[in-house]
Amino acid sequence: MIQRIALITPPYHSGVVETAGSWPNVAFVYIAGALREAGFEPIIYDAMTMNHTIEDITAELERMKPDMVLTSCYTPSYPKGIELLRVAKETLPGVITAVGGVHAHFMYDEVLRLDGDVVDYVMRGEGEVTAPTLVTCLNAGDDPAKVSGVAFNRDGAPYASPVRPFVHDLDALPTAWDLVDWDIYSFYPMPDTNLAIVSSSRGCDQACSFCSQQIFWNRTWRARSAKHFVDELEMLRNKYGVGVMMLSDETPTLDPVRWHKILDLLIERDLGLSLLMETRVDDVLRDEALMGRYHEAGIDHIYVGVERTDQATLDLFKKNTEVQMGKKAIDLINSHDMISETSLVLGLPTDTPETIKATFDLAVHYDPDLAFFLTIAPWPYADIYDDLKPHIVSYDYEDYNLVAPVVKPINMTTDELMTEVISCYRNFYMGKLKRVPTMSTFKREYFMITMKLLMENSYLKQYMGGLGNMPAEVARLFGSKK
């Protein structure tokens, strides 16, 4: 019988998502809540954030002795996810294993063909209903083919049941925030409080060709009610000491009526929270007159996906925006003393040093507080994959981390591409450093902490160099000597 179920993050570290901080896996919070409500005993074990080795994980598995191990993977974390499940199989004879997440959802056939010796089940789509339904089915000795949203090997070949419909009422989903080990989560620019990642909506109605989200969600969008969401934020603050909330939503402001109600409630309750979020440039422009209320509601940091600064590539990416919109959105965020962040995608087959330089020059003109220059990752399920496939130079999924150059431009080597990418980082941030003394107190403190993280603790450390060669006034802010 399956009773104790361990939800474990793969011990994967890419250096991109971990630059800013560490936060709970919100999908596990929901799935654990659903499993517990169904009468099972879930355990959340964040091996990634705890920096646990395979040896550590083995010891934890021996201690927990779960009947089932679930993990969730995106493409670059998938190999480590498989390594985790392999260790579970070796450590706990008879344990049942399952993997979910975007990569497994789309690539279940490959998963089961190549790794079916350690993967018993793939959970596709949302897991809150599928996980307890599957466990109940297995405990009853029934046929798992009756469970929607799963795939498994049957008679030597992968079999997939129909994908389960999306959960309609997000407010009704139970959560298991009490199973989170809050001591290991923090936002590095604001280190004196706990950090949570929260979800106010699910889905994306856009058609970006390089992204997996719009495909995963079938270009649909659902949302929690404003009150239910803000109630959760207040509970996390009061019960678990969470002071920084990061929204996991792809498009949290899609419904302006609901979003404006969220702002109203946050301002009315004055929770003293710092909110970090992602949104689209066109939604920022839509809310131009409300940006002051964003700031008043506690929103301190907004990421907008500019992606490129030339219209032809934006059209290729199906961003449904115009180049000048990105500049105006960033200006609006900056004008209200909120941190503006964006990313630029480099390494397309048509890229050259000249096109990368043009993208960089316009990124400087856009003037975000933080910019990340990412190499394009050819997700094997994205719409743009067929265009990128002839130029792929690595099929090791761990390289698909937005850092390693996986796609080779026609007229550049991958080493030349990486040199240009690092040059973009170095020139952008060294240019920003010279302007530190002119920043507001909030932005200056935030930026200096972030800059030190980039230089000392991130995947860029080996490229960015030390803290020398800075203006004297900036060196003083760092507390170092020029």
Q: What is the pLDDT of residues 34-72, one digit of tens each?
A: 999 999 999 999 999 999 999 999 999 999 999 999 999
Helix count (H) and strand count (E) of the chain?
A: 19, 17
Q: What pLDDT does 449 receive? A: 84
In whole angstroms, what is the distance from residue 105 CA to residue 216 CA? 8
Task: Please write the tens of the pLDDT for every residue from 243-295.
Answer: 999 999 988 999 999 999 999 999 999 999 999 999 988 899 999 999 999 99
Nearest to 112, CA basis, from 70, 71, 68, 156 = 156
Q: Which domains does the chain have, with CATH numbers?
A: 4-153 (3.40.50.280), 176-432 (3.20.20.70)
Distances (CA, A) of 353 to 156, 350, 374, 413: 49, 10, 15, 11
Q: What pLDDT does 472 receive? A: 58
In whole angstroms, what is the distance from residue 246 CA to residue 65 CA? 32
Residue where the block lists tokens 């020398």: 468
Q: What pLDDT does 478 receive? A: 55
Return mean pLDDT, the chain: 88
Mean pLDDT of 19-48: 95
Higher pLDDT, 34 or 322: 34
Q: What pLDDT does 216 receive? A: 62
pLDDT-derived band at 326, boundaries 50, 70, 90:
confident
- Are the C-beta atoms of 5 and 33 separated by less than 8 Å? no
pLDDT-derived band at 468, boundaries 50, 70, 90:
very low
Q: What pLDDT does 482 receive? A: 39
In whole angstroms, what is the distance from residue 105 CA to residue 161 CA? 12
Q: What pLDDT does 338 receive? A: 96
pLDDT-derived band at 16, boundaries 50, 70, 90:
low
Beta bridge partners of 157: 154
Task: Please write the tens of the pLDDT for every residue from 97-145.
Answer: 999 998 999 999 999 999 999 999 999 999 999 999 999 999 999 999 9
Nearest to 479, CA basis, from 442, 457, 451, 439 = 451
pLDDT-derived band at 309, boundaries 50, 70, 90:
low
Distances (CA, A) of 304 to 254, 294, 363, 440, 461: 14, 15, 13, 21, 25
* pTM score: 0.90
Is the confidence at residue 32, as pLDDT, over 70? yes
Task: Please write the tens of the pLDDT for every residue from 151-197.
Answer: 999 999 999 999 999 999 999 999 999 999 999 999 888 888 899 99
Is the confidence at residue 474, as pLDDT, over 60? no
Lowest mean pLDDT among 2-11, 99-108, 425-434: 425-434
Percent of the chain with pLDDT over 90: 68
Q: What pLDDT does 301 receive? A: 95
DSSP string computed for 271-313: ---EEEEEE-HHHHHHTGGGHHHHHHTTEEEEEE--B-SSHHH
Higher pLDDT, 52 or 343: 52
Higher pLDDT, 338 or 326: 338
Q: What pLDDT does 355 receive? A: 92
Higher pLDDT, 341 or 469: 341
pLDDT-derived band at 471, boundaries 50, 70, 90:
low
Lowest mean pLDDT among 15-19, 102-106, 226-230, 350-354: 15-19
Beta bridge partners of 278: 303
Distances (CA, A) of 416 to 142, 260, 409, 413, 423: 56, 46, 10, 5, 11
Q: At 109, list the tokens.
A: 């056939």
pLDDT-derived band at 481, boundaries 50, 70, 90:
very low
Is the confidence at residue 319, as pLDDT, over 50? no
Higher pLDDT, 308 or 190: 190
Strand, helix or coil at 135?
helix
